[in-house]
Amino acid sequence: MANVSLNNVYKSFGKTEVIHGISCDIKDGEFIVILGPSGCGKSTVLRMIAGLEVITEGEITIEGKVVNRLEPADRDIAMVFQNYALYPHMTVYKNMAYGLKIRRMPKSEIEKRVQKAAEILELTEFLERKPRQLSGGQRQRVAMGRCIVREPKVFLFDEPLSNLDAKLRVQMRLELRNLHETLGITSVYVTHDQVEAMTLGDRLVIMDDGYVEQIGTPLEVYERPATRFVAGFIGSPAMNFLNVRVSSDGASVEIPGGVHLPIENGNLPEYADKEVALGIRPEHFELAEEQQGDMSLNVDHVEVLGADTLVHGHFGEDKSSLTIRLSDIQHFEKNTILPLNVPPSKLHLFDSQSGTRLGK
């Protein structure tokens, strides 16, 4: 196991800068997830750690050793790819043993490591099969087994579950988490799937357009998003955003329709009479007694999902769109008026220009 550090790392392709000064310290044995939309640079960061991309500026260290100029084979890392990358003509055993064989490891040690990895991944009965005889989930386990036998300092995962169907992804998430708890090897995992990130990561590195927006635990980025981008990217359905005005005393915000909502734990005097962005997660609305709500939602459409209900609608003179999530099954006719309350602790305020979080 080892700690991994990125210190002010930049990456350019020609004159185009794609990674803009990323810094992050990954602790020994930690499971870090790099999360962001397609094209944000997360896979480029992973490839720079692996040595598959040369960094333009900055420093990457593994276990305290600068690896900028080290070849991938000399970094003591193992990488699991999205497409499995198995040898189709080899058995499962030979696929897992191949990397050790070319390193001229003794046959007895190869046998010991492959059998141990196969037992951990429940692949013992498939060791003599070819990849074409396996399911997608089994092939991905073989790819992970090939990395486990290496006993590397760092695991790198490049969207390893994206080729699997939804049910299998859930199963593989659990297996990955159990595998990490068993082996305790420092892991860096790249994905665009926020569910994978929230369930797997000890901490998340959320990226957008080559920049790090926030680094924190899954609960930290959910409950206290550092930027409007993070707030909108984390959570499903996505957070609702409204343009609001801070009151003259900085103690409340006025939402469309003239309703004032108090700001929790103090105020924002520096933003008095200025417009800011208000974010409210769909699950944080509460149905209120008639005529006692902070705001009223005009129902447009209802989605009954079984465990909960999504209600889409609009409110105010400008008909601002809004989605709320109710934790049970409820049916509402179109144009039903729902009175709603929002706890002050569940309001998120962001600067309209920079998108940075305001207040606590």
Per the listing, tokens 């108090």 go with 262
For residue 209, CA distances in Å to 25, 38, 40, 114, 133 come to 20, 9, 4, 40, 40
According to CATH, the topology of domain 4-233 is Rossmann fold (3.40.50)
For residue 110, CA distances in Å to 73, 122, 127, 318 come to 18, 18, 14, 68
CB 341 within 8 A of CB 286: yes
Pairing, β 309-315 against β 320-326 = antiparallel
Q: Quick one: average pLDDT of 152-180?
A: 86
The dihedrals phi and psi of 62, each to the nearest 5 degrees, come to -125, 120
**pLDDT at position 135:** 87
Q: Could you give the CA distance from residue 296 to residue 289 in angstroms, rounded to a whole number?
A: 11
pLDDT digits (tens, 9 = 90+) for 192-207: 999 999 999 999 999 9
CA angle 121, 126, 127 (to 5 degrees): 90
Kindly indicate the confidence band of residue 281, based on its pLDDT and cuts at 50, 70 and 90.
very high
**pLDDT at position 261:** 87
Amino acid, single-letter form, for residue 18: V
Residue 300: pLDDT above 90?
yes
Q: Could you give the CA distance from residue 133 to residue 92 in angstroms, rounded to a whole number?
A: 10
Residue 169, SS3 per DSSP: helix
Q: Could you give the CA distance from residue 135 to residue 308 in angstroms, rounded to a whole number?
A: 33
Highest mean pLDDT among 23-37, 110-124, 250-264, 325-339: 23-37
> What residues does 320 pair with on adjacent strands?
315
Q: Could you give the CA distance from residue 25 to residue 197 in angstroms, rounded to a whole number?
A: 18
Q: At what angle do helices 136-148 and 107-120 cross, to 10 degrees?
A: 140
The lowest-confidence range among 199-213, 221-235, 330-344 is 330-344
Q: Nearest Cα to 143, choosing from 126, 160, 128?
A: 160
Read off the tokens for 23.
Answer: 């810094």
Residues in the chain: 360
| Cis check: omega of the bond before 218, within 30 degrees of 0 | no
The dihedrals phi and psi of 345, each to the nearest 5 degrees, come to -70, -15
**pLDDT at position 230:** 97
Q: Nearest Cα to 332, choosing from 296, 292, 278?
A: 296
pLDDT digits (tens, 9 = 90+) for 336-356: 889 998 888 899 999 999 999
How many CB atoms sit inside 10 A of residue 335's CB? 9
Intrachain domains 4-233 and 242-358 with the same fold: no
User: What is the DSSP code (8-state) at residue 273?
Assistant: T
Amino acid, single-letter form, for residue 56: T
How many CB atoms sit inside 10 A of residue 358's CB? 18
User: What is the DSSP code (8-state) at residue 356?
Assistant: B
Residue 265: pLDDT above 80?
no
| pTM confidence score | 0.89
Each domain of the chain, given as residue ranges in start order, spans 4-233, 242-358
pLDDT digits (tens, 9 = 90+) for 23-71: 999 999 999 999 999 999 999 999 999 999 999 999 999 999 999 999 9
CB-facing half-sphere around the CA of 54: CA atoms within 13 A: 5
Kindly indicate the confidence band of residue 291, based on its pLDDT and cuts at 50, 70 and 90.
low
Kindly indicate the confidence band of residue 19, based on its pLDDT and cuts at 50, 70 and 90.
very high
Q: Quick one: average pLDDT of 222-246?
A: 94
CB 297 within 8 A of CB 314: yes
Residue 226: pLDDT above 90?
yes
Kindly indicate the confidence band of residue 129, based on its pLDDT and cuts at 50, 70 and 90.
very high
Residue 343, SS3 per DSSP: coil
For the chain, the average pLDDT equals 90
Residue 227, SS3 per DSSP: strand
Kindly indicate the confidence band of residue 12, based on its pLDDT and cuts at 50, 70 and 90.
very high
More confident residue, 220 or 259: 220
More confident residue, 272 or 214: 214
According to CATH, the topology of domain 242-358 is OB fold (Dihydrolipoamide Acetyltransferase, E2P) (2.40.50)
Q: Could you give the CA distance from residue 326 to residue 334 in angstroms, rounded to a whole number?
A: 17
Kindly indicate the confidence band of residue 1, based on its pLDDT and cuts at 50, 70 and 90.
low
Q: Nearest Cα to 135, choosing from 159, 110, 171, 111?
A: 171
CB 60 within 8 A of CB 67: yes
**pLDDT at position 359:** 79
- One DSSP character per residue, 44-89 reads HHHHHHHTSS--SEEEEEETTEE-TT--GGGTTEEEE-TT----TT
**pLDDT at position 122:** 86
